[in-house]
Amino acid sequence: MAKTVTAKAHTNIALVKYWGKKDADLMLPQNGSISLTLDHFYTQTSVTFATQLTADEIEFNGQRLTAQKAARISQFLDLVRQQSGQTAYAKVVTENHVPTSAGLASSASGFAALAGAASRAAGLQLDLTDLSRLARRGSGSATRSIFGGFVEWHAGHDDASSYAEVLQDPVDWDIQMIAVVLKATQKPISSTAGMARVVQTSPYYPAWVQTAEADLKRMRQAIAARDLQQVGQIAETNAMRMHALNLSAEPAFNYFTAETLTAIQAVTDLRSQGVNCYYTLDAGPNVKIICAGQDTDVIKTALQQYFEPEQLIVAKPGPGITITEN
């Protein structure tokens, strides 16, 4: 009897970004990164390997994917089959509680959940470090979604040395994010294509790698000190440096919309009024506001001048992956 395994993994938002690969096949990043896993956004995936299947069957949010759209998932399943010796095709059922391809880390939670469910269903009993390595092969940032709280991904130099580990979990101090969900639509250029263009064409890329390494050290210290102001300032500067790379690429591109700039300005204005809040953005238009829970109401009230209440989603530090056998 084929067993079905279900895994649930949460998204993470990078505070020190990974932007650029040094090995696209192994998904090795040019620099390390640090993130915060969030409780609100997650992916739940069930995997069953069954000998009667003649191809992988991928169901995403209630819809069967075409072979073309499912190709990236099937390639990842091939990796699991290769590691486990499993020869059967798989039925995969995924529910994504994250806007897809909008810069809210849907692929991070997606491939973390897939790694957890598929590896266990194929008979592998991976520890969290090995699961982190496996998830990385599907999506770089998925390596961090295996863990809860603050997480660091070590860039490494090969498959064995590139993995994530917990910096702080549980998070026992008052920090959260408010996601400003501007446009839950596909972005103009994928993260993979965007970072490849930046590495190849931006004259500032070497400086990015150097400053990112310095940001990692400072961010570790800020998290250990539970210093919201330092965490926010480092994250905000790091994010804008990443987006400056995109503007310096050839041809230039960016993920901002007019609403993105409105949200950024609103956060800057609030800070000038004494509210301890900061913004960060990934490869998409959505702004994430780093703040304390005690300031939620004043921040949301200010932002509701420009955005609908349902566009403002409060997310607190979230848990690591859970895996259950049905």
Q: Give the separation between CA 67 and CA 65, rounded to whole angstroms.
A: 6
- Do the beta carbons of residue 177 and residue 13 sit within 8 Å? yes
User: Which residues touch 261 (CB under 8 Å, ≥6 apart)?
Assistant: none
**187 and 167 in a common domain:** no
pLDDT at 178: 97
**187 and 168 in a common domain:** no
**185 and 131 in a common domain:** no
Going by C-alpha positions, the residue among 239, 253, 232 that lies closest to residue 211 is 239
Chain segment 143-162, per-residue pLDDT in tens: 999 999 999 999 999 999 99
Chain segment 94-130, per-residue pLDDT in tens: 999 976 555 566 899 999 999 999 999 999 999 999 9
Q: What angle do CA 111, 116, 119 make, to 5 degrees?
A: 110
Chain segment 222-266, per-residue pLDDT in tens: 999 999 999 999 999 999 999 999 999 999 999 999 999 999 999
Going by C-alpha positions, the residue among 281, 318, 131, 65 that lies closest to residue 191 is 281
Whole-model pTM: value is 0.96
CATH at 109: 3.30.230.10
pLDDT at 187: 76
Query: Residue 326's pLDDT band (boundaries 50, 70, 90)?
Result: confident
**168 and 186 in a common domain:** no
What integer best gives the mean pLDDT of the chain?
A: 95
**154 and 34 in a common domain:** yes
User: For 78-103, what is the mean pLDDT?
Assistant: 88
Q: Give the separation between CA 277 and CA 287, rounded to whole angstroms.
A: 12
**275 and 184 in a common domain:** yes
Backbone region of residue 85 per phi and psi (left: phi > 0; alpha: psi in -120 to 50; beta: other values): left
For 277, the domain range is 176-315
Backbone region of residue 10 per phi and psi (left: phi > 0; alpha: psi in -120 to 50; beta: other values): beta
Total count of domains within the chain:
2
- Do the beta carbons of residue 143 and residue 151 sit within 8 Å? no
**80 and 213 in a common domain:** no
Q: Give the separation between CA 152 and CA 122, rounded to whole angstroms.
A: 28
**117 and 70 in a common domain:** yes
**29 and 155 in a common domain:** yes
**117 and 255 in a common domain:** no
Chain segment 21-60, per-residue pLDDT in tens: 999 999 999 999 999 999 999 999 999 999 999 999 999 9
**247 and 157 in a common domain:** no
**158 and 202 in a common domain:** no
Report which secondary-structure segment, H or E, holds 314: strand 312-315
Return the SS3 of 289.
strand
